[in-house]
Amino acid sequence: MGLTGRTILHALGAGESDPQRLAELMHASVHATREQVIAALTAEVRAHHRFLLRELLMDAQERSIQHLEVQIERHPHPFEEQMNRCEKINGVSRHVLYVLMAEVGTDLHRFPDAEHLSSWAGVCPGESGKCRQATRAGRCKKGTCSVREVLVQAAHGVRRSHTSLGERYRRLKKQRGSKRAALAVGHDLLVSSDRMVKTGQDSQEKGEEYFHQRDHGKLERQLVQRLERMGSQGTQQPPPAA
């Protein structure tokens, strides 16, 4: 069954019965004329017909999804240890890992480093010119759409978490907007996964306090420099011992 047939059946199951409006759902590639489609759809559709249509369409979709899920669960079984390790990264789910394994593959050593992988996936700024400068406005390469989409979705999932990635998303959102923030955090997720797979190390969560501590030291240095420009002498004190 083609796209037009499925669309019309879904509309019939949802309660639409006007042949004129149903004919408007025809795709441009359908060879039949509009009059022929209207004539074929001119019939009495009762409530139990709609019920059966909904049940049949839903059952077929659910069976197809279940069958695919079983096949997907079966193939990555030899890499269960790597997947369990990568799942510890905040925002990385089984669905994300399945997409990465399907698109990137299981051998990440074919990429010299994480930045080459990020460039291939399209989650890092592109480069142009002889000086290899980032493209205007930090525009990213086209990359692989499915990988970039799943990484951006994962990044949006951590935006409210009390983690370093969540704090990074919130800070970047204020400066560059939500789209740039999600792309940057998606890049971090891909780099972390690459490092964990290649080195076998577990994820190291720094916590959202990491940025606050870094900002405190940066602010203190800026204040000392401001005092020195004003002619005073300032010294940066070491943080108190815990």
Q: In the chain, which stretches have pLDDT less than 70?
A: 1, 58-61, 125-143, 208, 211-219, 232-242
Please give the pLDDT value at position 1.
65
As a whole number of angstroms, the distance between CA 219 and CA 240 comes to: 16
Determine the pLDDT at residue 129: 43
φ, ψ dihedrals at 91, nearest 5°: 100, -15
**Residue (of 120, 139, 112) closest to 190 by Cα position:** 120
pLDDT of residue 127: 47
Q: For 80-128, what is each residue's pLDDT tens digit?
A: 888 888 888 888 888 888 888 888 888 888 898 888 888 888 887 654 4
State whether the Cα torsion 3-150-118-198 is positive or negative.
negative
Helix (H) or strand (E) holding 127, with range, is: strand 127-128
CB 195 within 8 A of CB 237: no
- Return the pLDDT at 133: 46
Predicted pLDDT of residue 160: 85
pLDDT computed for residue 59 by the predictor: 66
- At 139 the pLDDT is 57
